[in-house]
């Protein structure tokens, strides 16, 4: 089964206290790379989220976003900075003494000094928050899997179509290749006859044709291409991640096509080489999207 590396999944889970939203995005990447963003009270569960995601994702850049709604997640406490308050009161007493002021420091005066009051937020983690988080993450991963699988099926169909065209060209070139030597032999015979006024021996023509045939022999390359095409088609039916293997096969196919292009001294084969390279570019582009 072909799976795309591109996808998106979203899910939410809630109880009476909180609501958790999980969003997961994946795009192409050579390896498996994670970026996870979640509230600090959930950071202790980050590895569990990643471990769960690894059950669904084997390759790609993964972005996981966790958001939490709920007033009960944070408890606020107010503290007094007593050292700072003592300094204020001491300074007020000094000012009062220096200028012979009668008024005294009141509670109302102290309340105006906002800097001496410190508000702290203490995270509150409900006991079932982990289960709720994993429920949301699991749902998002399932939705992500559906999207990646659907896109993978579309990729597989397109790859099979391009591969079929490529394979047909390989077979056509293989059937046509023997005629290249015969055509060369005929042209050589005519050319030599013109130059030697018909005095050339047939053995000389056969020898020259044999040398040419050896130089432009592409049977090995064509045989390997047929093997690569078969392996590519079979790999598309495998269950495990296949992107890297397909990418390797495309590279090997491109290598063989380049060799054919350099060895085949024939305009028809050269034209087919151009078409094969065009199809390989399409295959390579699509393979980059496969897990």
Q: pLDDT value at position 72?
A: 58
Say if CB 144 and CB 7 are below 8 A apart.
yes
Taking residues 120-140, report their average pLDDT.
Answer: 82
Q: pLDDT value at position 120?
A: 77
Q: Which of 72, 55, 68, 59 is closest to 23 using CA atoms? A: 68
Quote the CA–CA distance of 39 and 254 in Å, as a whole number: 48
Quote the CA–CA distance of 151 and 139 in Å, as a whole number: 19
254, exposed or middle or buried, with CB in 10 Å at 0-12, 13-18, 19+? middle
Cα 74 from chain centre: 37
Q: What is the DSSP letter of 126?
A: -
Quote the CA–CA distance of 29 and 63 in Å, as a whole number: 12
Say if CB 120 and CB 83 are below 8 A apart.
no
- Using a pLDDT cut of 90, give the percent of the chain over it: 51
Quote the CA–CA distance of 106 and 170 in Å, as a whole number: 96
The pair of structure tokens assigned to 66 is: 């966790």
Q: pLDDT value at position 49?
A: 96
Q: pLDDT value at position 186?
A: 53
Question: SS3 of 37, please?
Answer: strand
Helices marked H in 128-242: 129-196, 202-215, 219-235
Q: Which of 275, 246, 257 is closest to 59 using CA atoms? A: 246
Say if CB 19 and CB 11 are below 8 A apart.
no
Residue 204 scores a pLDDT above 80: no
The pair of structure tokens assigned to 59 is: 């390759």
């Amino acid at each position: 089964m072909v799976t795309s590396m591109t996808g998106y999944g979203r899910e939410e889970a809630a109880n009476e206290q909180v609501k958790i939203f999980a969003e997961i995005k994946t795009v192409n990447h050579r390896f498996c790379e994670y970026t996870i963003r979640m509230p600090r009270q959930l950071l202790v569960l980050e590895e569990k989220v990643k471990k769960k995601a690894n059950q669904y994702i084997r390759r790609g850049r993964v972005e996981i976003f966790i958001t939490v709604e709920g007033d009960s997640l944070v408890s606020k406490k107010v503290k007094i900075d007593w050292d700072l308050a003592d300094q204020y009161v001491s300074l007020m007493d000094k000012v009062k003494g220096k200028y012979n002021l009668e008024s005294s420091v009141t509670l109302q005066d102290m309340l105006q000094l906002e800097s001496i009051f410190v508000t702290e937020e203490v995270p509150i983690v409900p006991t079932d928050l982990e289960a709720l988080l994993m429920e949301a993450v699991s749902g998002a991963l399932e939705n992500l899997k559906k999207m990646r699988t659907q896109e993978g099926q579309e990729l597989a169909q397109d790859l099979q179509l391009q591969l079929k065209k490529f394979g047909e060209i390989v077979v056509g070139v293989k059937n046509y290749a023997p005629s290249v030597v015969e055509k060369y032999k005929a042209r050589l015979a005519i050319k030599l006859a013109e130059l030697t006024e018909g005095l050339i021996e047939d053995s000389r023509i056969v020898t020259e044709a044999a040398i040419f045939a050896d130089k432009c022999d592409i049977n090995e390359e064509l045989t390997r291409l047929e093997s690569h095409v078969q392996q590519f088609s079979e790999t598309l039916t495998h269950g495990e991640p296949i992107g890297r293997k397909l990418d390797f096969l495309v590279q090997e196919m491109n290598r063989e096509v380049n060799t054919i292009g350099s060895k085949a001294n024939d305009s028809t084969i050269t034209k087919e080489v151009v078409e094969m390279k065009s199809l390989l570019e399409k295959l390579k582009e699509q393979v980059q999207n496969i897990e």
